[in-house]
Structures are given as structure tokens and as C-alpha cells.
Structure 1
């Protein structure tokens, strides 16, 4: 694994899920968000990047702490359909499991909606909602 991959830099496929313990709930109903997550980490641990998909993007700022596991803490903010969006993310770079096959660098963590914003259906998505997310590196070199 390259040094950048160990640090967490790269383009990831991002998916977040509602934290609902009901096993009878259809998996598709747990979807909170999905998109691309571009993370750039400088040698001194400054994190920049963006999370985005068609029609929306949030610029990322934050920091990385190296260790086992590495920890990333960052905020995404931007304007989507005329409304400000702010989310915060705390995640860990999953260590490789001994004897694992074809392991791909993956981030796992939590995301919180910091401020409310329109939900696109005439309602409001409230602040304070916390969900789990994972992000899988798209290109492994």
C-alpha cells in the first residue's frame, strides 16, 4: 500500500446509512446519502477535499491523526439548491486484517447534520441527525 493510501488520501465511494436497529426494515430504507468523497491530506495532517454527486458538492476541511487506526475529522459545507448545508464527519481508516484477501482501503465512521436544510420534498431535514458511513477507495494502485 502506498504512503498516500495509508494516510487516507484518495477518491472514495461514499455511502451513509440511518442507524436503525430494526432488522425487519428493508435495507433500501436505511439509505441516508451516497456520492464521491475526495480526500487530500497534506504531510502535516491538514485535510481538504470535497464530497459530491450530480447536482451537489460540499467542500471539506479538517485534519488527520496518524495512528492505528488513522483518524480523520472533517466538516463539509456548501450551498445546495440555494440552501446552506453543513455536515461533520469522524472516521477511521480500517486496518488490514491479517490473511484478508483483496482488502480495499476503507473509511468507517459517523456523520452528523450540523444545520437544518430543505429536504427536497417541501420539508426540512433537521440538524443533529447522526448516521453511520463507510467509504471504499475507488482506485487501488
Structure 2
């Protein structure tokens, strides 16, 4: 069986805000590219990154319905450690889907705090939803 997770994925994450008046642009948590490498049967490895940041991914994958991935991204960005944890699911193929692109959907948590781009602190424990589509 081919590993359906291998390859590059366009990644976006959004804060979980139930207020429908919040503009979509104000929900952005992160974006970048996930690059998943071929590895042993249940292993997930690769990278995730964007402008000015990159994290090494290590984790696992499970076949089933739905197929599942769980991984941690670790790296040094701007001189400090970043750690994020991810859990995601491969969206099932729709028999009547038109030009369906493989997609992962899931959740991400900032595991440890780090400096934010506005000079403050991005706290640990913030949870966001993510989706990634295969490039």
C-alpha cells in the first residue's frame, strides 16, 4: 500500500473562535508547507515551515477509517525553541467528488510558549484547527 501522507501539503490553521462576526483574516494561526517523507510503516517524519520558520516533524500514522496522523514539530526559530503538536485525519474520497484534492483536517496545539511577532508572548496551550491540501 502506498503511503497517502507522503508529499507536500499546503497548510493553514485557524483559531477556534465561535464568533461568526470575527473576520476570517483575524482567525489565522499559521500557514506554511508540510513535507512528509517516506518512512517505515507507522512512522511519520518530515518538516513544516513557512517564511522565517521551520520545524522538524516526528510522529506516527495509522491506517483505518479515517486514516490518522499524530506528530510533533520541533525547531529553533529566532533563537528560541518552538514545539507544536498535531493530530489529523485524511478526508475520505467522495465517490462523486469532482476534482477532489487529498486533504488533512485536524487540530494543533502550541506546546510551549515563544515570542510573538508583535513583541509579546505566544502562550502555550492555544489550540487551533488546521487543514492541509496536497500540492
Report the counterpart of residue 23 of structure 1 in structure 2.
20
* Residue 4 (structure 1) shift: 3.0
Match of 2:71 among 68, 74, 82: 74
* SS of equivalent residue, structure 1 residue 4: coil
- Out of 92, 97, 101, the position equivalent to 1:95 is 92
Partner of 1:3: 2
The two structures have a TM-score, normalised by structure 1, of 0.92
Query: Cα RMSD (Å) of the superposition?
Result: 1.2
Corresponding residue number in structure 1 for 2:35:
38
User: TM-score with structure 2 length normalisation?
Assistant: 0.96
For 2:121, the equivalent position in structure 1 comes to 124
The CA deviation string for residues 31-73 of structure 1, in whole angstroms up to 9 with x for no partner, is: 0000000112424211100001121100000000111111000
**Aligned-pair distance for 1:20?**
0.4
Name structure 1 gaps, 5 residues minimum. Answer: none
Matched, 1:134 2:105: no
